Amino acid sequence: MLTHPNARLLSLTPVYARVLGVALAQKSYDTHESSERTALKELLSTMDLEGKLIQADALHTTQVFFSGVSSRAPMSR
């Protein structure tokens, strides 16, 4: 993929409800100014997550993502 060195990319990070089959919310960010990790943290901070299971791709597992929240191992169905 060829891009101009000054090109800017606007990306979207959604929060998707698998059971409902819809995106509940999304956050856009400029890839030169922010990151997907930051966008997802900001987006999730606006939601009530008490008692909810959050799944994210491997990008979000390389460092502590949430503070004060205990993580759990993947659950089998």
Residue with tokens 């059971």: 19
Q: Using alpha carbons, select from 29, 27, 38, 30 the residue that is nearest to residue 6.
A: 30
Domain presence at residue 66: no
Render pLDDT for 18-49 as a digit per residue (tens, 0 to 9): 889 999 999 999 988 888 888 888 888 888 88
CA dist., res. 42 & res. 13, Å (int): 10
Domain presence at residue 71: no
Residues near 65 by Cβ (< 8 Å), separated by ≥ 6? 37, 41, 56
Domain presence at residue 28: yes
User: How many domains are there within the chain?
Assistant: 1
Q: How much is the pTM? A: 0.64
Domain presence at residue 5: no
Domain presence at residue 54: no
Inter-residue contact 27 to 40 (CB < 8 Å): yes
At residue 3, the pLDDT reads 66
Domain presence at residue 20: yes
